[in-house]
């Protein structure tokens, strides 16, 4: 998968939503999807970061992107319905979602977690992507072949001390994916959902949680893009409900 060679037109004419597209893996994925023909919808909290990625896509001559800023911690059902409505109104279709937006915390013992920290992790990392999927489901069901990628995390896949609410929220993603995949399997075979666990990558979040690490020795976001392209494109059409660890 890491050595996958995506054809240049892999995502031609498709519309793909990328959450957390302002930097790190989200930015790299947005640029990579656009480079392979997709119209990318850039989501994030910080409009300035999204505008920078938008400009990069435009300057490269890729299909014109769109920007939808939204704070997942504060958004309610109406906001998520509005996001889906904007996509339907402006772009008429949706062929894939990469859920990359993540709330993290500094590693600490479970006994030190506050209720607010728990609620932030669960709201941003679990409830928000589920709500986005639900709101966008009518568009995704109409797509000839649609892929939803939920971003997991290695400490959620294999629980480890001090990762607390963050690990629990990411473990919940894997369970959600398995349930949703079973529900879609027979009724909507054109739509698939999987968990992608990138592992250690040199991103802003990684530098925050591992300040003493030699980050320059880690894989860069661009190094992982073959896997993201494979899972978003039709060469992985038979992969459903899986947790894929890079």
Mean pLDDT of the chain: 92
Kindly indicate the confidence band of residue 219, based on its pLDDT and cuts at 50, 70 and 90. Answer: confident
Q: Which domains does the chain have, with CATH numbers?
A: 15-245 (3.40.50.720)
Q: Which residues have C-beta within 8 Å of that of residue 68, sequence separation ≥ 6? A: 17, 41, 42, 43, 83, 86, 87
CA nearest 23: which of 101, 80, 99? 101
Kindly indicate the confidence band of residue 216, based on its pLDDT and cuts at 50, 70 and 90. Answer: low
Using one digit for the tens of pLDDT, what is the confidence trace for 75-132? Answer: 999 999 999 999 999 999 999 999 999 998 788 899 999 999 999 999 999 999 999 9
Kindly compute the dihedral angle of the four CA atoms of residues 152, 157, 163, 169, in this order, to the nearest 10 degrees: 50
Identify whether 166 is a catalytic site residue. yes
pLDDT of the residue at 75 = 96
Given the residues 4, 54, 62, 166, the one annotated as active site:
166
Return d(Cα 127, Cα 77) in angstroms, integer. Answer: 10
Radius of gyration of the chain (CA): 17
Report whether pLDDT(195) > 60.
yes
Kindly indicate the confidence band of residue 74, based on its pLDDT and cuts at 50, 70 and 90. Answer: very high
pLDDT of the residue at 104 = 81
The pair of three-digit structure tokens given for residue 29, joined into one six-digit string: 């994925």
Kindly indicate the confidence band of residue 202, based on its pLDDT and cuts at 50, 70 and 90. Answer: low
pLDDT of the residue at 226 = 95
pTM of the model: 0.93
Q: Report how far apart, in Å, the C-alpha atoms of 120 and of each of 89, 100, 128, 134 are.
A: 30, 16, 10, 20
Kindly indicate the confidence band of residue 18, based on its pLDDT and cuts at 50, 70 and 90. Answer: very high
CA nearest 168: which of 177, 159, 179? 159
Q: Across the beta sheet with 15-19, what order do the strands follow?
A: 66-69, 39-44, 15-19, 96-99, 146-151, 191-197, 243-245
Using one digit for the tens of pLDDT, what is the confidence trace for 127-136? Answer: 999 999 999 9
């Amino acid at each position: 998968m890491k050595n996958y060679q995506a054809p240049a037109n892999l995502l031609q004419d498709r519309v793909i939503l990328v959450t957390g597209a302002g930097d790190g893996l989200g930015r790299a994925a947005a640029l990579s999807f656009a480079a392979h023909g997709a119209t990318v919808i850039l989501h994030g909290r910080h409009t300035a970061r999204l505008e920078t990625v938008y400009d990069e896509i435009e300057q490269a001559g890729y299909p014109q992107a769109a920007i939808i800023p939204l704070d997942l911690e504060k958004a309610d059902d109406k906001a998520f319905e509005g996001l889906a409505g904007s996509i339907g109104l402006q772009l008429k279709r949706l062929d894939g979602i990469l859920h990359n937006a993540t709330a993290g915390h500094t590693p600490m013992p479970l006994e030190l977690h506050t209720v607010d920290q728990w609620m932030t992790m669960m709201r941003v990392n679990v409830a928000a992507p589920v709500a986005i999927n639900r709101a966008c489901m009518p568009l995704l069901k109409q797509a000839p072949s649609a892929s939803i990628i939920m971003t997991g995390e290695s400490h959620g896949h294999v629980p480890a001390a001090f990762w607390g609410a963050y690990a629990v929220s990411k473990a919940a993603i894997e369970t959600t994916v398995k349930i949703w995949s079973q529900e879609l399997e027979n009724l909507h075979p054109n739509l698939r959902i999987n968990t992608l666990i990138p592992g250690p990558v040199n991103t802003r979040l990684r530098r925050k949680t591992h300040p003493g690490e030699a980050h320059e020795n880690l894989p860069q976001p661009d190094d992982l893009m073959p896997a993201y392209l494979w899972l978003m494109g039709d060469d992985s059409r038979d992969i459903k409900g899986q947790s894929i660890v890079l």
